[in-house]
Amino acid sequence: MLVWWDVTLALTSRKGYVMPESYFYRLFGDDNADDATISFYNVSGCPRELFKHMVCLAKYARELELASTMTCVSFRNDPVLDVEKSIREWAAEEYGDICGLAGLQGGGVGGDDDVAEQGGGGETVEEKVNAKQDLHHCAEAWRYALLLYVERVFKWDRKGPPSPRGAFLARKTLNHVWCCRRSTMVQKQLLLPVFLAGCETKDPALRALASEYCSWWSEKTRYDMFTTASILLDEVWASTSTTSWWGSVIDEKSGGNSLSYQYLFG
């Protein structure tokens, strides 16, 4: 859990992580460590492959911020674009859309037998389909959120308005979030994607979805991070400046004074 917090905090603060980078890769060094993969997913809701890209983006974000303060140093986007390409092309069968799969254990999808109880009182096929779809939409929410992060942090010229691509990626992210059922707690893991996407949309209906997500899960879990995210969203939305964004809002609140804050989104 500390690893997850360290990397997600490094993403939003753009100040780097506390733990050495080698530790992250050593933690997931065995590609066949299925138990570690499942355990990590249960904690974070993010597929391990996408988390590895998050580690890279957090490192590059810190380097970008440092380069922006130096006169004789420029930041090259090439490594970032390589990561972006990998995220865009990423796909894994265990997180695939069930509509594109041949079927599930116990039969195919779409027939009358799909809603019948399996032998021994196990899950129905419908329940398995729903669980599989939750995994798919959760993974896609993270994938689009990371693409959105690249768009805003690395590609945006901070002297001008953001690209319309950000609004499209925000819509895709929120669409996948809302396709996850709340009854399984999977959707709870998507606070950071909701925050990143909510900050980028100007559509009142989509903003309402982001706010409702925060309020519902705050009431459900009693975790302050959902309330805090909602407050930050309101502050981002209240700004009329084209150069104001979630990063500038967080930077203002996490400065060097005695009342500085750090924000966790998951």
Q: Is residue 209 part of a domain?
A: yes
pLDDT, average across residues 10-31: 81
Q: Is residue 262 part of a domain?
A: no
Q: Is residue 259 part of a domain?
A: no
Backbone CA torsion sign across 153, 91, 53, 251: positive
**pLDDT tens-digit readout, 86-140:** 999 999 888 888 775 555 444 445 444 544 445 445 678 888 899 899 999 999 9
Q: Which of 247, 241, 263 lies closest to 154 in space, CA to CA?
A: 247
Q: Is residue 230 part of a domain?
A: yes
Cβ burial of 200 (10 Å; 0-12, 13-18, 19+) is buried
**Domain span at residue 54?**
2-103+124-253
Q: Which of 146, 50, 140 lies closest to 100 in space, CA to CA?
A: 140
Structure tokens at 73: 């140093």
Give the pLDDT confidence score for residue 264 in this predicted structure. 82
Cα distances from 183 to residues 60, 123, 151, in angstroms, run 36, 15, 32
Does position 43 have pLDDT exceeding 80, yes or no? no
How many structural domains compose the chain? 1
Q: Is residue 72 part of a domain?
A: yes
Does position 166 have pLDDT exceeding 90, yes or no? yes
pLDDT, average across residues 136-146: 96
Instruction: Indicate the average pLDDT of the chain.
Output: 86
Give the pLDDT confidence score for residue 112 in this predicted structure. 47
Q: Is residue 215 part of a domain?
A: yes
Q: Is residue 110 part of a domain?
A: no
Give the pLDDT confidence score for residue 38 in this predicted structure. 60
* Per-residue confidence band for 261, with pLDDT thresholds at 50, 70 and 90: confident
Q: Is residue 117 part of a domain?
A: no
Q: Out of 45-59, 86-100, 144-158, 166-180, which region has the weakest mean confidence (pLDDT)?
A: 86-100
Q: Out of 181-185, 198-202, 216-220, which region has the weakest mean confidence (pLDDT)?
A: 181-185
pLDDT, average across residues 11-17: 93
Give the pLDDT confidence score for residue 266 in this predicted structure. 74
Alpha-carbon span 15 to 12, nearest angstrom: 8
Structure tokens at 243: 């150069």
